[in-house]
Amino acid sequence: MVFLAALPLGLILIQSAQVSSTDALTLLSEVGQRYADAKSYHIEAVEEETSSGELFRDWHKTFMTAIVMPGGRYHYEGRSVAGAAVLISDGVRQWDYLPERNAYTQGPALSEEAEKKRVHQQDELAASNARWIVARQGLLPSLLKSAELMPDEVISIGGKSIECFVVRFADSREDFKVRRPSLNRESIIWIDKSRKIIVKKVERSQPLTTRPVSGQVRFATETVVTYPVVELDQQEPATSFTFVPPGDARLVEAFSNPIGSGTRPEMVGKPAAELQLKSKEGATTSLSSLRGKPVFLDFWATWCGPCKGMIPDLVKLYDETSPKGLVWLGIDNDENPEAAEKFISQEHIPWRNYHDLDGAMAAAFQRNSIPLGVLIDAQGTIRFYAAGYETKDLQSAISKLGPEFGSLAVANANAH
């Protein structure tokens, strides 16, 4: 595990020579724009995350590769404790290969909209996260109010010595436009001075209090990411986007058991947890105050492709069920609620949305993946709980809430 802090933080700050925040933000914006403008890229990342508390310590490592060229061509690879996957498309065909299952699928390349709705296997988590490497680098400057330049450093990545700018920002000093009040975060980024690319970043977070929230154990986390390969606007050979399966690999029509698919029997039939829903205006509504009406909770985020892909179908279902008394509530997990509000406005999403600032709402409903849909009846009992669900399954569950929703079952049957 790689750790920072060769010097005490106070000494580092003295050496920073009071360089202005504007200079640091300008640098980050310039770097972020490089990533945002890239039409093609080849990036490899190694992520190490260590979480520790009074009674436990957990460490895991993830490898990610993202190679993208115009024309819908991509090559994503990922390997982590959750499994391994290779996702490839030449723009016409696409292949999903799961090495640990020694199986792969092959078919026509999905449209962008269809890809958004696709629910990934647990094995594919690291490869799926590789899709967002460039987007996250480009988005970072928009999340910050301030940052500071630290003394330049020379670090070694992949056996190469790289002279770097070093930028630091910390949530405890309200550098972020939106803070997580339950966390104290510090991030440091190393930027290759000659190429203006990010070659390393470290994020540390710890709870501001040791008092448990929603029954969860409090712990500190350090995540170290290095980027041994960063190529922007490069040319890649066609072979990067063609999959040649191993001789003994099985071609299957589809993989079974997508992550979080179906209901969780241990949740269905239980009383719904209490939630305190706080609007951006500051008004608070308790979930229990809605008792007497059925409620649907949509846990989502703008960085979740399947979440966004479901919105058109969910809006149609909202139009059918809201007049009959079903209350719809969105709960987003975006770092910056402005991103969620912008998407809601663009897509004309009609139901109320709440920002899960500290993760307490997700914890209350044991959310471990998104999209997650939770349907609660008028008595406060969970009747549907599913991650990566299909709208037709939610519609079927709603049809069983009472006679006023019975017509949905007919509509669902006619649609198939």
Q: How far apart are alpha carbons 146 and 148 in whole angstroms?
A: 7
> 10 Å Cβ neighbour count for 307?
24
Are the C-beta atoms of residues 83 and 125 closer than 8 Å to each other?
A: yes
Write the DSSP symbol of residue 379: T
Q: What is the mean pLDDT of residues 89-98?
A: 95
Q: Give me 15's structure tokens.
A: 């050496």
**Cα–Cα distance, 7 to 260 (Å, whole number):** 44
The answer to whether residues 349 and 315 touch, using CB atoms and an 8 Å cutoff, is yes
Following DSSP, what letter does each residue of 271-298 receive, concatenated?
BPPP-EEE-TTS-EEEGGGGTTS-EEEE
For the ranges 33-47, 157-171, 175-189, 389-403, the maximum mean pLDDT occurs at 33-47
Q: Which two tokens stand for residue 396?
A: 């079927």
pLDDT band with cut points at 50, 70 and 90 for residue 213: very low
CB 239 within 8 A of CB 86: no
Radius of gyration of the chain (CA): 23
* Residues counted in the chain: 416
CATH level 3 topology of 9-251: outer membrane lipoprotein receptor (LolB), chain A (2.50.20)
What rounded mean pLDDT belongs to the chain?
82
- Tens digits of residue pLDDT in 313-361: 999 999 999 999 999 999 998 877 777 888 898 888 999 999 887 778 8
Stretch 216-222: mean pLDDT, rounded? 68
Q: Please say whether the beta carbons of 152 and 143 come within 8 A.
A: no
Taking residues 404-412, what's their average pLDDT? Answer: 76
Identify the CA nearest to 351 among candidates 308, 375, 381, 322. 322
Name the nearest CA neighbour of 326 among 270, 393, 397, 398. Answer: 398
What pLDDT is attached to residue 82? 78
Calpha distance 141→311 (Å, rounded): 27
Helices 21-37/133-143 angle, 10° precision: 150
Cis amide linkage into residue 70, ω under 30° from 0 = no
Fold designation for 276-414 = Glutaredoxin (3.40.30)
The pLDDT tens digits of the residues spanning 270-287 come to: 999 998 888 777 788 899
Among residues of the chain, what percentage have pLDDT more than 70? 82
How sure is the predictor about 234, in pLDDT bands with cuts at 50, 70 and 90?
very high
Separation between Cα atoms, residue 135 and residue 41, nearest integer Å: 12
How far, in Å, CA of 214 to CA of 355, rounded?
17
Does residue 97 sit in helix, strand or coil? strand
Phi, psi of 92, deg, nearest 5: -115, -45
Query: Among candidates 64, 72, 55, which has minimal Cα distance to 113?
Result: 72
Strands 327-332 and 352-355: parallel
Higher model confidence: residue 184 or residue 226? 226
Q: Domain limits of the chain?
A: 9-251, 276-414
Q: How close are the terminal C-alpha atoms of the chain, in Å?
A: 52
The answer to whether the beta carbons of residues 399 and 391 sit under 8 Å apart is: no
User: If DSSP codes are grouped into helix, strand and coil, which group holds residue 198?
Assistant: strand
Residue whose token pair is 């203006």: 196
Q: Where do we find the tokens 């709208």?
A: 391
pLDDT of 260 strictly over 90: no
Per DSSP, the three-state class of 85 is strand
Residue 300 predicted with pLDDT over 80:
yes
Question: Locate tokens 């969620």: which residue?
Answer: 340
Percent of the chain whose pLDDT exceeds 90: 48
| Tokens matching residue 331 | 């709960």
Residue 267 CB contacts under 8 Å (≥ 6 apart), including other chains: 365, 366, 374, 382, 385
Backbone angles phi, psi at 260, to 5 degrees: 70, 10
Q: Which amino acid makes up residue 42?
A: H
Strands of 327-332's sheet, edge to edge?
A: 352-355, 327-332, 295-300, 372-376, 382-387
The string of pLDDT tens digits covering residues 94-134 is: 999 999 999 999 999 987 666 655 666 778 888 988 988 99
pLDDT greater at residue 12 or residue 105 = 105
CB 140 within 8 A of CB 335: no
CA–CA gap between residue 367 and residue 370 (Å, rounded): 8
